[in-house]
Amino acid sequence: MKRYFLAAATAVGVMSGSVALAKPVKIGMLITLSGPPAVLGKQLRDGFQLAMEKLGGKLGDKTTELIIEDDELKPDVAISKAKSLVGRDKVDFVVGTVFSNMLAAVFKPIIKSNTFLISPNAGPSVFAGKNCNPLLFVTSFQNDQNFEVLGKHAEQQGFKSVFLLAPNYQAGKDAVNGFKRQFSGKIVDTVFTKLGQKDYSAEIAKLAAAKPDALFTFMPGGMGVRFVKQFRAAGLADKMTFLSAFTVDEATLPAQKDAALGFFGGASWAPNMKTPGNAEFVAAFEGKYGYVPSVYAMQGYDTAMLLDSVIRKVGDNLSDKKAVRNALRAADFKSLRGNFKFNTNQFPVQDYYLMKVAKRADGKFQTEIDRKIFSAAGDFYAKDCKMSW
């Protein structure tokens, strides 16, 4: 009798224990949160957390543990954090990274551990073509596409001559190549500057002397703040059209302010976009964090919503990689961008727009959609990806 009681008690104990121990979904977020570029990582994180909050702190209606790690924009740090996310924490998904060179660093350790890697921003060409991978999904864009928007626009406007200016590293060269892929007019000069350069007076003097119809530049973060201000102070804004990518956006506009007014960029989304749920998102974001969301915040939000749809579909079978992959590929969520689906290389197929910097009634600055440039566009490299769906 006593023995039966014990057995029953043990059984109850085990059962209740199993309820309490119901495995939460674990998401590892690996983004850049230190140094000046941290502002981009912050936007991504805030967007992602806003989505989770809207879903009641859960993804797919399951208890979710979000582990946020800072890669410090250093490849060695990124690799060791990635290893501990997949090795020690055994996360179900890694969401990262902000920068393309960080993605290249963490790609191998994460993919080797058979964990899904979802990039909410970085979309380097290396993983879009023949090195595409069934475990890698990119929810943002393929890097070249934003540059191609400006090239196409310059082509359509019939600009006769364009001056190209970019920092001397891989993404800067991608910017120049992406632009040239769409633009057939004359390139008066291509100038590469030091990454992180402070003073652009030498380049601006050259630009003024060259007198092109338009300038195309790629100056992310603080470089964009400095360059835009110096460009405006040199009085060039009235003399040529300013075309750019990742140079004038909500991450840099609080510092650029009036200096960037009327300048053009290219992206897949803007705060004033008229898509279902977008106005609510922007209002909720500004209410909670006190600044205007950028495309990075939107990407963080969309990534959380994508994962929500996946977990909802797959339920407890997160270890069934095939089921998870199919659920990811379905992209069964409402993107703030409107049209969104995955290409065969698991990079987005979406619309791209020309953006123009505008001042809002409340005195804050944001990018606004000028016109659509590409509809449902996949990237240039997808054709080399031999993945079967």
**Residue 259, φ and ψ in degrees, nearest 5:** -60, -25
**Distance (Å, whole) CA 84 – CA 46:** 23
Nearest distance, CB of residue 193 and another protein, angstroms: 7
CB-wise, 255 or 330, nearer to another protein? 255
CB-wise, 14 or 233, nearer to another protein? 233
Adjacent-strand bridge partners of 292: none
The SS3 of residue 216 is: strand
**Distance (Å, whole) CA 153 – CA 354:** 8
**Distance (Å, whole) CA 247 – CA 173:** 15
Name residue 357's amino acid: V
CB-wise, 32 or 64, nearer to another protein? 32
Nearest distance, CB of residue 52 and another protein, angstroms: 22
**Distance (Å, whole) CA 51 – CA 288:** 12
Nearest distance, CB of residue 250 and another protein, angstroms: 11
Query: Distance of CA 19 to CAs 14, 32, 316, 320, 353, Å?
Result: 9, 36, 14, 22, 49
Nearest distance, CB of residue 323 and another protein, angstroms: 39
Residues that bind another protein (CB under 8 A): 34-39, 42, 168, 190-194, 196, 198-199, 201-203, 205-206, 208-209, 221-222, 225-226, 229-230, 233-236, 251-252, 254-257
Nearest distance, CB of residue 39 and another protein, angstroms: 4
Computed on alpha carbons and rounded to an integer, the radius of gyration of the chain in Å comes to 23
Return the structure tokens found at 276.
Answer: 């279902």
CB-wise, 84 or 190, nearer to another protein? 190
Residue 360 CA from chain centroid, whole number: 24
Instruction: Give, for 365, the enclosing helix (H) or strand (E).
Output: strand 365-377
Angle at 223 between CA 233 and CA 174, to 5 degrees: 120
CB-wise, 300 or 378, nearer to another protein? 300
Return the structure tokens found at 364.
Answer: 């804050």
Adjacent-strand bridge partners of 190: 164
CB-wise, 34 or 63, nearer to another protein? 34
Nearest distance, CB of residue 378 and another protein, angstroms: 28
Nearest distance, CB of residue 75 and another protein, angstroms: 18
Nearest distance, CB of residue 319 and another protein, angstroms: 37
